[in-house]
Each structure stands twice: as structure tokens, then as C-alpha cells.
Amino acid sequence: MEKIKGLIDAPFTPMHPDGEVNYAVIPEYAALLARNGLKGVFINGSSGEGYMLTEEERKLLAEAWMAAVPEGFKVIVHVGSTCVKSSRRLAEHAQQIGAWGIGAMAPPFPKVGRIEELVKYCEEIAAGAPNLPFYFYHIPAFNGAYLSMYDFLRAVDGRIPNFAGIKYTFESLYEYNRCRRYQGGKFDMLHGQDETILPCLAMGGAQGGIGGTTNYNGRCLTGILEAWEQGDLERARALQNYAQDVIDVICHFRGNIVGGKRIMKLIGLDLGPNRTPFQNVTDEEEARLREELEAIDFFNHCNK
């Protein structure tokens, strides 16, 4: 299977003020991401509040992104849910509309506590789109599935024909690299933490990744890959440290899903509020968010 090179963005779901999905802004959104060096989108995931959308909304979003993206821009659809039958239908729909691939994280309920449970869950979903690469989205902080991904690869190898790899959003660089080296690099290990791109590059991985802060800081993050390829370690290190500065700011405003989504408004693309039960950024907080970003000269570095 083709391995992804470059960074894929995990977009926010645009909302109207009343909390309904705003599909009309997606063409402008797609153009902004492509203009700033991103290679595709992984929609309806954690940044996109996917579990808080209806099945119909998720399908309409997938169709809207497919209609909006430029040629060669990859659309990967997150289809995970607490209902495996719903996930299977979403996978079937993704294949029908011509998406590049699909992915799923472990469900938040019931908690998956064994490798076999996770493999079976992925197996049923992936079978809904047998012609598309399937990625498991490893983000245990969201669902409590603190399982060995190396053991998962061993269990899934040869069992799911369209299994492509893992979007790895966890802190263990050791396990990430161990999975990357499995069977000589058999599977695509997509790097999922924007704050550790450079160390993973140094270990020989992270040729492809999926990020959340790429929505507004993609120029910086793609620059890390470019500097590394050019052998400019000092520039790569400076850009990685700047990416951390930005992440430090959003941590003051309930993280990327809430604070990051409001940053989109500050760079000129208002994607609206988050859905309940997220606590949205207030006007007062927005003013402080802007001040903190100005203090690190963000608006001269961000996506344009």
C-alpha cells in the first residue's frame, strides 16, 4: 500500500452559531490547507468532534470535503463510533464517494481492554470498505485503550487485508519506533503528535503524519519536514520549538479542539462554536488568546 508522505490535517467541523454544521465554508477551508502545504485531511475525528455528530452529518461532511479538495489531496474519513454497525455504514459510504482511506479509533464505550477485542472491532469496520486503506487511530487518552500497539500489529498482520497502519497519537517514542520497524517497516506509522515531529524524524520515521495544530500552524510544521530533508537541523529545531510555543498557548484555552478552533477565527476563517458539552471560548478569553499569540509573533508565522 502507498505510504503517506507529508502532513495530513485533522480539520475542525465548521458550525453555525446555532450549532448546526456549516458545509458552505469547506471549499475555503480546503483551499487554505492546501495553500499552506498540507497533503490531505482526516475528517470527523477528535478535532472534528466526530462522536458528537449524527451519522448523516458525518456522511454529508465527507461528501462536502470530497467535492471541495484539489486534485491529489487525500481525504481520509474517520468512521469510528460506539456502534460498530454505524461505523460499517460510514466505511461503506466513504468507499462509495471515492475517499482515499478510512480510519477508526477505539470506542470510548465500552472500554476496549484486550487486543483481540480491538482487532475484531477494526476487522468489522474495515470490511465495509475493502478497497480502501484502513488506519487504526491510537489515542488512548480519549478512550482508555492503553494497549500495546506492537502486539496489535502482530495480531492484525494478515488478518485485515486492507490494514494500512496506525495514526499514533501517544507519548511513547520507543513504542512508535518499535512499530515503525515492525517487519522491516511493513505498516504506515503516521505520526500524531505535533510536538514531537522532529525526534521521530531523527529516529527514521514520521515520513507522514496527521496533525491538529496544522489547521493554523501548518506552515511551521511542514517546515520542520522541509528543513530536515535539507539537512538544516538548526532550523528544524527552531521550528519544532516554535510549534511547542503555540501548543503551550492553546493549553491555556482547553486545548486544540476548543482553543485551536477559535484560532481559526483569528486568522480569518470563522468555524463557529464547539458542540455541547464543550465549553466554548468566551469573548474575554478570545482577547487573552489573541494577546498570547501576539506575544509569540504568531500572526506572522501562521497559515495564510
Distance CA 165, CA 134 (A): 7
- The pLDDT of residue 205: 73
CATH 3.30.1540.10 is right for the domain spanning 6-232: no
Contact 79, 87 (CB under 8 A): yes
Contact 203, 172 (CB under 8 A): no
The C-alpha cell at 111 is: 472500554
Q: Residue ranges of the chain with pLDDT lower than 70?
A: none
> Which is nearest to 6 in space by CA: 191, 236, 213?
191
Q: Which residues are catalytic?
A: 137, 167
- The pLDDT of residue 203: 87
- The pLDDT of residue 13: 98
Task: Please write the tens of the pLDDT for every residue from 110-136.
Answer: 999 999 999 999 999 999 999 999 999
- The pLDDT of residue 12: 98
Contact 71, 39 (CB under 8 A): no
Contact 188, 165 (CB under 8 A): yes
Q: What is the DSSP string of the chain?
A: -PPP-EEEE-PPPPB-TTS-B-GGGHHHHHHHHHHTT--EEEETSTTTTGGGS-HHHHHHHHHHHHHHSPTT-EEEEE---S-HHHHHHHHHHHHHTT-SEEEEEPPSSSPP-SHHHHHHHHHHHHTTSTTS-EEEEE-HHHH-----HHHHHHHHTTTSTTEEEEEE-SS-HHHHHHHHTGGGT-SEEEE--GGGHHHHHHTT--SEEEESTHHHHHHHHHHHHHHHHTT-HHHHHHHHHHHHHHHHHHGGGTHIIIIIHHHHHHTT----PPPTTS-PPPHHHHHHHHHHHHHTTGGGTS--
- Furthest-apart CA atoms within the chain: distance in Å: 53
- The pLDDT of residue 207: 86
- The pLDDT of residue 204: 78
Distance CA 222, CA 226 (A): 6
Q: Using CA of residue 142, residue 48, residue 135, residue 247, what is the dihedral sign?
A: negative
Distance CA 147, CA 165 (A): 15
- The pLDDT of residue 206: 72
Radius of gyration of the CA atoms of the chain, in A: 18
